[in-house]
Structure 1
Amino acid sequence: MEFLEINYYSETLHMEQSMNIILPEKSDRNPDWTVESLQDLPALYLLHGMSGNHSMWARRTNIERIIRMTKIAVIMPSTDLAWYTNTTYDLHYFDALAKELPNKIQQLFPQISTKPEKNFVCGMSMGGYGAWKLALGTTQFSYAASLSGALVFGNDEPFPFGPKEYWQGIFGDLKQIHGSENDLFTLAEKRKQSSTPIPKLFSWCGRQDFLFDNNNQAVEKMQALNYDVEYQINDGTHEWYYWEKYLENVLEWLPIDFVREERLS
C-alpha cells in the first residue's frame, strides 16, 4: 500500500489543507494485482470527529492493515471543528469537501473512480454526521456510514458541550437548524423528492455510548422516510476501540471485495 500525506491549497477555504490517502499498489505482496485492475478504483472517504484532524484514522486504527488486501483508495480529509458545514463565519467547509475535494482528487489521482456507485463515505461522531450529510446533500456518494454519529440536533444547544457561541458560529440561529441544509432529515426528504439515486445508509452505535438514543432516533426517522438503513447495535462506548472494530463491518457492507485479514491463509 502507498500511504501519502497531501498538503494543498483550498481555494474554497482560502488556506492550506491536508489529507492522508492510502492507495493499493502492485507489488510482490499482491502478485495477482495488475496495473489495469487498479484503475477506476472505488474510494472510501473517512471523516474525523471533534478535536481530530486528517491524521486520526491512521493514528488511532490499523486502517492500512485492515484494507491491505482490498483494492480501494482511502481518503482522509480534515474539517477542523466546522462540522462539515458552511459556517456563519464564511468558511465553507461543506463546499470544500463536497465540491472542491473530489475535483482535487481526480486531478492528482485519475485512477480513483468518479462514479457515485464507487464512492463511499464513513465517519465517527461528528464525522458520522458529516458522512450522512455529504451523501444526502450531494450525488457524490452512494453509501454513507456513521459510527457513533451525532445525527440528531436539539433546538437549543445541539449537544451538552461547548459554549452556545461555538454552535452559533457553525450553524447560526440554533432554533433554525430544523428545516435547514444542516438538518439531515430535511436533506433526506428533499433527496426523496428529487430524481437522483438515494444513498444507502449504515449506523453503528454502542449501547453505553452517550449518543445511543440519538442514533436510535436518527435511524427511526430515516426508516420512516423509507431509506435503506443498516443499523447495528452492540455493547460499546464512544471510543476508537469500537470504531476500528466496526469499520470492518462497514467495509463488508460496501459493494467491494473486502478481505478480512483472518481469512487469509
Structure 2
Amino acid sequence: MALMTLTFESRYLRSNQTVSVVLPDMPRHLDPAAFYAAQQDLKVVWLLHGTFGDHTDWVRKTNVERYAAAKGVVLVMPSALNSNYANWSGFSLGYDMHDHLVHELMPLVHHWLPVSPRREDNFVAGLSMGGRGTVKLAASHPDLFAAAAVLSAAPVDLSGLTHEQLTASTDPMTQRLRGMVDNAGGLDAFLASDENVWRVIDEQAAAGTSLPRMLFACGADDALIHDNLLAFRDHAARIGLDAEFWVEDGYAHEWPFWDLAIRRAFEFFGLPDAETNPF
C-alpha cells in the first residue's frame, strides 16, 4: 500500500488540516504509466478516530493498512480533535468539523484522488467518538454511504434529558454532553439538532428513508454495552432498522478489539478481495 499524508488549509476548520490516506499499490505485472493514468474509481472507506486521537491512530495501532490491501480499497483518515465530529462555530475562529467532512474533505478526495464518488462505493467506520461520528454521518447523510460500521458506540435516547441531569453530574461523559448542549444553543436546540442521532434515525425510519446498512460492534467487557448498545439494539428491532449487532467476548474499550472489528467491518461492507494478492 501507499501511505500519503495530505496537509491543506481548511475553510471550515480555519486552519491547516492533515489527513492520512492509504492507496492500493500497483500490481507488479502492470505498466506503471498505464496504471497511474487510468481512471481507477476505487472504493473508499472513511475511518474516524476516537477521543484524544488523530489521523495516525488507525495506521499506528491496527493492521488496517494490510486489511485494505487485501480488499484493494482506499482509506481516508482525518483528524477531528475531540470535536465529536460536530460543528463548533464558537470555538476560536470556528471549527466546523461536520461541514468539513461533508462539504470539503469528501469533495476533495472524490475529485483529486482515484476514488469513486458513488454511494455504493463509499463506506464509513469509526471507534468510540468516531463511532458516534459515523452513525451521525450515516443517519444525516444517507445518500453518501452504502454502509457504516459503528465500533464501541451507539445512539442514546436523550428524550428525557433535563437541565438538572446535565448540571448535577461531574462525570466526563456528562461534561462532554453539557458542552455539546451549550454549543447547540441550549437543550431544546440540541435535541432538535442532528447531534440527537436517536431522534434522527427514528424520523428517517418513519419516513421510509433508505439508510445505509449499519454494523454495531462492541466488546462484551466494554462498560457502555448495557446502557447504550443493548438499549439501541432493542430499539432498532422495533423500528425495523437494517442493522447488525455483534458483541465479542473477552474485549473491552481497546485497540485489540478495534483491530478485530475493522476487519469484520470490511466483510460486512461486502468488499471483495483484491484481484491481485498484495502479499
Is 1:161 matched up with 2:140? no
Match of 1:52, SS? coil
Distance 1:99 1:159, change over 3 A: farther
User: 1:210 is matched by which residue type in structure 2?
Assistant: A
- Report how far residue 247 of structure 1 moved: 1.0
Percentage identity across paired residues of the two chains: 27
Q: Which residue of 2 aligns with 1:181?
A: 194
Deviations 1:162-200 (A, max 9, x none): 646644454443465434311112221332355753211
Distance 1:55 1:226, change over 3 A: same
Moved more, 5-14 or 176-185: 176-185
TM-score under structure 1 length normalisation: 0.87
Q: Which residue of 1 aligns with 2:112?
A: 108
Q: Which residue of 2 aligns with 1:257?
A: 272
Rg: which structure is higher?
A: 2
Q: Contact between 2:219 and 2:247, CA under 8 Å: does it hold in 1?
A: yes
Q: Which residue of 1 aligns with 2:127?
A: 124
Q: Contact between 2:5 and 2:18, CA under 8 Å: does it hold in 1?
A: yes
Determine which of 191, 201, 204 is the counterpart of 2:214: 201
- Report how far residue 8 of structure 1 moved: 1.1
Determine which of 134, 138, 163 is the counterpart of 1:135: 138
1:1-265 alignment, distance < 5 Å = 1-28=1-28, 35=35, 39-87=40-88, 89=90, 90-109=94-113, 111-138=114-141, 139-152=143-156, 154=158, 155=161, 156-157=165-166, 160-161=171-172, 163=175, 166-174=179-187, 177-194=190-207, 196-213=209-226, 214-235=228-249, 236-258=251-273
Distance 1:50 1:169, change over 3 A: farther
Distance 1:159 1:188, change over 3 A: farther
- Report how far residue 108 of structure 1 moved: 1.9
Mapped partners of 1:44, 1:230: distance in 2: 18
Deviations 1:183-231 (A, max 9, x none): 1122213323557532111011112101112111222222322111111
Match of 1:6, SS? strand
Mapped partners of 1:170, 1:241: distance in 2: 34
Distance 1:211 1:14, change over 3 A: same
TM-score under structure 2 length normalisation: 0.83
Q: Contact between 1:128 and 1:147, CA under 8 Å: does it hold in 2?
A: yes
Match of 1:66, SS? helix
Gaps of 5+ in 1: none
Mapped partners of 2:59, 2:269: distance in 1: 20
Distance 1:176 1:224, change over 3 A: farther
Q: Contact between 1:84 and 1:130, CA under 8 Å: does it hold in 2?
A: yes
